[in-house]
Amino acid sequence: MSHELRTPLNGILGYAQILRRDKNLEQRQADGIAVIQRSGEHLLAIINDILDMAKIEVGKVDLYLSDVLLERFIYFIAGTIRLKATEKGLAFSCDMAPELPAAVRVDEKRLRQVLLNLLSNAIKFTETGSVRLRVDWAPPTRLRFEVQDTGIGIEEAHRETIFRPFEQVSDARHRVGGMGLGLAISRQLVRLMGGEIHVESRRGAGSAFWFELDVPAVAREAADVPLEWTASGYHGPRKTILVVDDVAANRAVVVDMLAPLGFEMAEAGNGLEALQKAEALRPSLILMDVVMPGMDGLEATRRLREMPEFARLPIVAVSAGASGSDAAKSLAAGANAMLSKPVDLTVLLSQIAVLLDLEWSDDTPHEAHGPAIRIAGSFTDNFIVPPHEEMEALHYLARLGDMRAIVQHTEHLTELDERYRPFADHLCQLAKHYRSQAIVSFVEQYRGAHGAD
Ligand code: ADP
């Protein structure tokens, strides 16, 4: 089922991302594309929830543990939630116990999913007052999260029902944008991680959701996030990339993502054609759809690997299923890496960079994009620097190369305090020109001012 649901969204989100990069758009068109992208992402979130629930019900969810810098992880969540809270006129606070370990081994994605769900609910069901996130640590391994709000509360009789799929117990006014799956998924994920979600609440007097997990603390160095890039081209000789997919629209999305960066693009509609094109064109890398009629991606990959000339050719398997078994099968067939649909441009670029050992150039030609951007230094003394946790969130986004989130975050900074405007404007300008490296340096320069690591 997931294939049929995600493939059309691949086209919608892929082209929305491409079109948003066009610098010549009128405001009305840019706003329209932003709506397409937001709606597509919302639909994708709903589909993912339904698929998640289905997977959980048949016991098919695995945890992927990695070493995560705890402070940065929480600051990122706090940054996202503060934005939503401010929009709704609510206060938000994030309290972290001073003795928290620098890094822990957890399933970062799943833990973030649970916390964002509890915090989004807290905001959704609170009209006035505040939302608070507390993080505590009891050595040697006990990590505790608590989300409190001053919202509408939950009646005693409903305190168990809310964890059931598709149950919504509040009035219709609060049901918009939700389907009643969040808590059901969160409860199951926390159980999978070895904990249990508890709730304390009184109708009209707010709620508190909390859970505890046993997680090993690990050394800080192990957990640093790899850099990802947003580029306008690459250094070195021109490279050919072969895109294999039976759906022409899917091929077109990837071609339109990569051709502007200077890649020579070639296409094939099935495995057999992929083998012929590979022999004729000798591409530097192949993006290989897994499921195709005729010869599928797994078979084509296996056959390529049998030919000595392609033994070392980088092959990225692209799958709409996004399941662990697809990844395992593709790697067993000989693929070097795995990408899930809808293809995320940043992830795609970082994989290509690693596999082709490429160095991106992210200097946008000045003549094409207006005046050159002033780099921090000439007027740095005038900046009023936002607080520590904002800087941490910005640093995280900058390293991720997520320009869109950075632009959103700069808007939030000026709402927080008008005095941050010069700082925010400068950052926004860099982000709009995809100057990812300049942003990382800029944020790092000021991050130090707060004594961060
Ligand atoms: P959704 O938010 O999509 O409705 P959830 O599973 O996350 O689904 O929540 C189920 C129901 O539990 C909500 O519809 C609401 O009635 C209730 N609920 C969840 N969190 C809160 C909260 N913080 N305050 C009051 N009610 C809540």
DSSP code for 342: S
Calculate how far, in angstroms, residue 146's C-alpha sits from the geometric centre of ligand 1. Answer: 16
Q: What is the CA radius of gyration of the chain?
A: 23
3-state helix, strand, coil in the chain (%, to 5): 50, 15, 35
Mention the CATH class of domain 66-222.
alpha beta
163's CB contacts (< 8 A; 6+ apart) are: 183, 184, 187, 197
Most distant CA atoms of the chain, gap in Å: 70
Residue 392, classified by CB atoms within 10 Å of its CB into exposed (0-12), middle (13-18) or buried (19+), is buried
Calculate how far, in angstroms, residue 122's C-alpha sits from the geometric centre of ligand 1. Answer: 8
For the chain, give the number of residues. Answer: 453
The two tokens of residue 407 are 């632009």
Res 382: pLDDT: 52
Strand positions, DSSP E, 99-225: 103-106, 130-138, 142-149, 198-201, 207-214, 217-218
**Ligand 1, atom 19: closest residue by C-alpha:** 121
Contact 209, 197 (CB under 8 A): yes
Res 175: pLDDT: 61
The list of the chain residues with pLDDT below 50 reads 223-230, 364-381, 450-453
Ligand 1 atom nearest the C-alpha of 177 is 3
Beta pairing partners, 289: 318
Residue 14 corresponds to which amino acid?
G
Res 383: pLDDT: 67
312's CB contacts (< 8 A; 6+ apart) are: none
Res 379: pLDDT: 33
Res 372: pLDDT: 27
Element (H, E) at 428: helix 421-432
Res 450: pLDDT: 47
Res 162: pLDDT: 93
CA distances from 233 to 229, 238, 262 (A): 11, 10, 6
| Rounded Cα distance, 317 and 310, in Å | 15
Q: What is the per-residue burial (b if ≥16 Cβ within 10 Å, else e) of 245-269? A: bbbeebbbbbbbbbeebebebbbbb
Res 266: pLDDT: 96
Contact 225, 298 (CB under 8 A): no
Calculate how far, in angstroms, residue 402's C-alpha sits from the geometric centre of ligand 1. Answer: 30
Calculate how far, in angstroms, residue 145's C-alpha sits from the geometric centre of ligand 1. Answer: 18
Calculate how far, in angstroms, residue 76's C-alpha sits from the geometric centre of ligand 1. Answer: 23
Give the pLDDT confidence of 185-225 residue by residue, as tens digits. 999 999 999 999 999 999 889 999 999 999 988 876 554 44
Res 270: pLDDT: 96
Res 209: pLDDT: 98
CA distances from 411 to 17, 25, 34, 120 (A): 20, 21, 16, 20
Ligand 1 atom nearest the C-alpha of 180 is 8
Res 136: pLDDT: 95
The two tokens of residue 34 are 């932003």
Res 31: pLDDT: 87
DSSP code for 24: T
Q: Which of 103, 68, 39, 44 is nearest to 320 (CA)?
A: 44
Contact 430, 401 (CB under 8 A): no
Residue 149, ligand 1, Cβ within 6 A: yes
**Ligand 1, atom 14: closest residue by C-alpha:** 168
> Which backbone phi and psi does 85 adopt, to 5 degrees?
-65, -45
Ligand 1 pocket test target in 127, 162, 174 with most atoms within 8 Å of CB: 162
* CA dihedral of 341, 347, 353, 356, whole degrees rounded to 10: -20
Res 377: pLDDT: 28
Residue 154, ligand 1, Cβ within 6 A: yes
Residue 206, ligand 1, Cβ within 6 A: no
Q: Where in the chain is the domain with CATH 3.30.565.10?
A: 66-222
Residue 122, ligand 1, Cβ within 6 A: yes
Give me the residue label for tokens 């049901």. 175
Calculate how far, in angstroms, residue 125's C-alpha sits from the geometric centre of ligand 1. Answer: 7
Contact 390, 79 (CB under 8 A): yes
| Rounded Cα distance, 341 and 405, in Å | 21
Residue 340, ligand 1, Cβ within 6 A: no
